A and B are shown apart, each in its own frame.
Chain A
Amino acid sequence: MSDGMKEKLDSIVSKTLEKMQNVKTTEALNEIRVSVLGKKGELKEVMKGMKEVAPEDRPKVGQMVNEARDRIESKLAEMRQRLDQEKMERQMEGEKIDVTLPARKADIGHRHPNTIALEEMERIFIGMGYEVVEGPEIEWDEYNFTKLNIPPNHPAKDEQDTFYINKDIVLRTQTSPVQARRMEQGKLPIRMISPGRVFRADEVDATHSPSFHQVEGLVVDKNITFADLKGTLEQFAREIFGPDTKTKFRPHHFPFTEPSAEMDVSCFKCGGKGCRFCKGEGWIEILGCGMVHPHVLEMCGIDPEEYTGFAFGVGLERIALLKYEIDDMRLLYENDIRFLKQF
């Protein structure tokens, strides 16, 4: 009896496995599952014949039926996985796109090149322990000039083409008055930069603007040397113009500092060989600097015998124009979106 049963089961199993092998969809697979394992499925039918099996054979037959079901179910699982995988592959294939079609752009605004240059400078100096300090743009003549060692009638006052509100109040020509204000507070040591808007009576053209920005730096501490000034500015130049940048210091004169210098950097376009960008010089003038004049320290209540310091001033627009190769300063104040979008 069990032999007949076994044949029957084997036949169901092999027939079912064969059918499943060629199935193409999960639906068809499901139909097969129902037709074999379902309530009215073939295996159920076989089970119904169990009554006719001798009781002593029943466990054995039961086991045979279970084995047959296991084989079918394991094949079912295998097929289901294969079909799912095929389905996923078909879907992926159908969803293929042309990745070279244009991107949908997020319409994000752009930062002004001056601000980008300023943020970069702030990052460098904040990293060196400098605080960023602001001050008034409309300033007392005394802070803009006298406290910076430019007494009344000093020729430097003419050189700077100052805008006056009245005889005592000016549009600041430099951000150094912020340094004088900070020194007067008396908290030492000082490491600061003062960025901001400054004004000079220059007509608007490709290289001049009556309003522009400066970033001036000041360090006052014990034992500050000219060598420290050079080292700091060299580091700054390398950070902002690239690690291969070389610097050159030339004597100059500013009333605020003594000794004073101007710093050139090797042309970052040609590396110093000389090109149109640096007018064949190989060097580009970047900033003025020097050791804070002892008289300036005295006027701000700092003892120059105990403290020394250095100061420097950079034109922000100059850095922005050089760094981004902008050939006309007027572009910075026109606010044409086609210009701004390039930054």
Chain B
Amino acid sequence: MNTSLSWIKMYVPDLDCSAQEYCDAMTLSGTKVEGFTRLDRDLEKIVVGKIISLEKHPDSDHLVICQVDIGEKNVQIVTGAPNAVVGMLTPVVLPGGRVAGGHDGTLTEGGIKIHAGKLRGVDSDGMMCSIEELGSSREFYPEAPENGIYAFAEDSGVKPGDDAVHALGLDDVNIEYEITSNRVDCYSVIGIAREAAATFDKKFVLPEVTPTGNSEDVNDYIQVEVEAPELCPRYTARVVKNIKLAPSPVWMQRCLAANGIRPINNVVDITNYVMEEYGQPMHAYDLDTISGHKIIVKRAQDGEKFTTLDGNEYTLDHTILTINDAEKAVGLAGIMGGENSMITDQVHTMLFEAACFDGTNIRLSSRKIGHQTDASRKFDKGLDPNNAMEAMNRACQLIEEFGAGEVVGGAIDIYPVKREESRVLFEPDKINSLLGTDLSAKQMLEYLAKVELRYDEKTNEIVAPTFRQDIHRCCDIAEEVARFFGYNNIPTTLPRGEATTGKISFKNRVEAKARDVAEYCGFSQGMCYSFESPKVFDRLLLPQDDSHRRAIQISNPLGEDFSVMRTNSVNGMLVSLSTNYNRRNKNVRLYELGNIYIPKSLPLTELPEERMQFTLGMYGEGDFYDMKGVVEEFLGQIGMHDRLQYNAEAGKTFLHPGRQANIIYDGKMIGFLGEVHPLVTKSYGIGERTYLAVLDLPAILPFATFDRKYHGIARFPAVSRDLSMVVPKNIQAAELEKVIRQGGGAILEELSLFDIYEGEQVKAGYKSMAYSLVFRSKERTLEETDINAAMNAILKGLSDMGIELRQ
């Protein structure tokens, strides 16, 4: 919503403040100003001048030399304007002044400074201006010439030396407001002016609407039926005959122009003006096109076609409300009139409509047909039906005032259920205890009266006029009190009452540990989108029947790339790594904590499972075992050491078939890790070996613990032994270690691999592995015989597996 400051002042005549003061105060009292534009920000030293003589320039075909009366003196100005004539009154910028832009309409930031100078050797002390040079256009000043300087009309009353910027109404400020959806009344100049008057404690003066109409009766011209009262709470209509289309008065054109509305003619300008002023859209039909003298407000037929006055055709259905005559639809209610009934230059008699339509229906209808208009944007907020007749009469008053036509007596008003004022019990104590203030009832009532919230002493109620559709309960009254007391005058305190414990969940603690471990290990935290493209599944080489392809679809996505909720976190990580690789970042390690979304059924009938994934990805330095180390460090930190296993049969299509494993804890799968399949790294454009680990937090949480027990520090000496073996290649280290641990028993304290080798020195199909074993007892110093017994048991276990010691 925009208004000019001058238009506000028409209803708050005593308002006397700068634009900045106005905007600041309005924002603090609840009418938020987004910004304001001074129309004259780049205009300086511009007066009205009158051309008193004109002669040809001796050295130019298109320049003329003018003597111009600027009030206190005459100045000489050379101009190329083709329309310059003696006697013309025109804006003149004097040397040292500024204009907003060039005559082609391009604006220059900060304006263009004008100096005295010579044009082809002839002195020129200023410049006569076109409307474009003054920063506006013929759109708002239709009387301005297409090419040339602006000429004031002879009857405009300006004289040489007057302030031309003022005379043109450019000494104004356009203010842009953010109106919240609860304040429908403020989508009108009057509504905002009412707030301004309350804010600055000034008198609020509504336009005085005088009775209009001749001795005829409107019912002789038109009959109205409302067949769908649920969508049209009120319909008012009046008739104007003997229409004389002409430009509207300059003051109205200026008003509209300052609000960014293009003046057209008296009738159109009046409807636009009243729509802005009262917030009530109006429509004018050419009554001669209305057949049967009848208007019927009803739902459209399914499949009905209709052409609006801008020439677009729409297909309608029964949810859309139309205005019809005896034979056909003539308008889309609240959105736009029809081509078949629009006002043309030949109009003789017209039907004025000011109605109230159901806001939700207008919103849904205009969205359905894909056409929003200034009118629909007003209607869809849900207008006050009590405003309609007032606006109608105001428009008719202006018609008469401008001599634009003859208003027929009487008015049609179909208004079956009158909207009543709302009443809220006045509870000053409750208001104070909600706000934390100590205001007297009297003070509160003063604030409320400012915005026409009346106190009914008999019932102890606050009565809210129907334009205030947001007043229903005590808290709404409290807000009104707070607005005018000033939010910033309310004291500041801290909540008292029962103490509560600040805490985070166990899940959040585990996540915090994941972040810590990842970062210690050199991984930085990334964040990925929750939705991605369904093409991702092919990119990850997932089989057609893979369960990950069962993803939740967004019904109105921003595009295919953001259309499904991710079912795994791998793509996000690979995309991030790929971004880094493309930007030539070396040794990149990233982690992410984010949800995946697993539907319980498709289509979704209940909320899906949201599973937090701890995802690690890296390329550059480090390999599978580095990644495995990070996983184990994390699991160790959350108390998960002793039941960890890896299963190489992970079956992940996007990982290297020989370098992947499911991570198993206590027999349950808690995640996986591996090297990314070369085909996948290639399709993501990553030119290095890439490793991933994904840990599924919901699977981990049941095992995670931050409990710790002290185990004591070994007091007896340790004995170490090395074990060097030749092992068939297909035997995994885990199997071997299991046998060694079994043989070693309780005294085998530590087992660590220190060498692994395959190649020339080892026979084909075998690998050489060397472990260091540390034996220690908690109770005593071990004897040689203890160690030997353990070693023998180990060797026996190994030889049972067909493993021989290396010679």
Binding site for B on A (CB under 8 A): 107-112, 114-115, 122, 125-134, 136-140, 153, 155-156, 158-159, 163-166, 169, 171, 189, 191, 197, 199, 201, 203, 210-211, 219, 221-228, 230-232, 234-235, 248-253, 258-261, 291, 293-295, 308, 332-338, 340-341
Contact = CB atoms under 8 A, between A and B. Distances in A.
Interface string B544-559: 0000000011111110
Contacts of A227: 435-437, 490-493
A211 B27 CA distance: 30
Interface in B486-502: 487-488, 490-502
A308 B482 CA distance: 17
B499 A112 contact: no
B502 A125 contact: yes
A221 B497 contact: yes
Contact of A138 (B380, B562, B565): B565
A251 B28 CA distance: 7
Contacts of B526: 112, 335, 340
Nearest to A232: B494
A150 B27 CA distance: 25
B612 to A, nearest CB: 9
23 contacts: A109-B520, A109-B589, A111-B524, A125-B502, A126-B504, A131-B501, A137-B530, A137-B610, A138-B565, A153-B360, A164-B554, A165-B604, A201-B556, A227-B493, A231-B491, A251-B28, A251-B482, A258-B475, A293-B475, A294-B475, A333-B527, A335-B590, A337-B580
B493 A129 contact: no
Contact of A253 (B181, B474, B579): B181
A133 B507 CA distance: 11
B580 A336 contact: yes
Contacts of A137: 530, 595, 597, 610
Contact of A337 (B553, B590, B604): B590
B435 A128 contact: no
A232 B433 CA distance: 17
Contacts of A115: 515, 525
A138 to B, nearest CB: 6
Contacts of A131: 500-504
Identify the interface centre among A110, A114, A140: most chain B CB within 10 Å of its CB.
Answer: A110
Contacts of A249: 487-488, 490
Nearest to A169: B604
B263 to A, nearest CB: 31
Contacts of B591: 109
Nearest to A293: B475
A211 B532 CA distance: 12
A198 to B, nearest CB: 10
Interface residues of B, number: 90
A135 B602 CA distance: 22
A210 B474 CA distance: 37
A226 B181 contact: no
Identify the interface centre among A155, A166, A210, A226: most chain B CB within 10 Å of its CB.
Answer: A226
B363 interface: yes
A130 B180 contact: no
Contacts of A109: 518-525, 589, 591
Interface string B500-517: 111111011000000100
A136 B607 contact: yes
Contact of B504 (A122, A156, A197, A219): A122
B552 A138 contact: yes
Contacts of B525: 109-112, 115, 340
Identify the interface centre among B521, B525, B558: most chain A CB within 10 Å of its CB.
Answer: B525
Nearest to B180: A253
B247 interface: no
B147 to A, nearest CB: 38
A19 B524 CA distance: 67
A251 B29 contact: yes
Interface in B547-595: 552-558, 562, 565, 576, 579-580, 583, 585, 588-591, 594-595
Q: Closest 5 A-B residue pairs measured CB to CB? A: A227-B436, A225-B436, A335-B526, A251-B30, A126-B502
Given A153-B363, A165-B555, 16 more contacts: A111-B519, A136-B607, A137-B610, A138-B604, A163-B554, A164-B554, A210-B531, A210-B562, A222-B497, A224-B495, A227-B493, A249-B488, A253-B183, A332-B527, A336-B579, A337-B524
A111 B519 CA distance: 7
Contact of B495 (A114, A169, A221): A221
Contacts of A139: 607
Interface string B607-646: 1101000000000000000000000000000000000000
Contacts of B479: 251, 258-260
Contacts of A158: 363
B529 A211 contact: yes
A292 to B, nearest CB: 9
A136 B600 CA distance: 14
A252 B580 contact: no
B182 interface: yes
B613 to A, nearest CB: 13
A291 B430 CA distance: 13
B302 interface: no
A156 B524 CA distance: 38
A125 to B, nearest CB: 7
B483 interface: yes
B14 interface: no
Contacts of B504: 122, 126, 131-132
A137 to B, nearest CB: 6
A232 B496 CA distance: 11
A21 to B, nearest CB: 48
Contacts of A197: 530, 594-595
Contacts of B180: 252-253
B476 interface: yes
Interface in B426-485: 433-437, 470, 473-476, 478-479, 482-483
Contacts of B579: 334-336
Contact of B487 (A126, A222, A235, A261): A261
Interface string B142-156: 000000000000000
Contacts of A261: 487
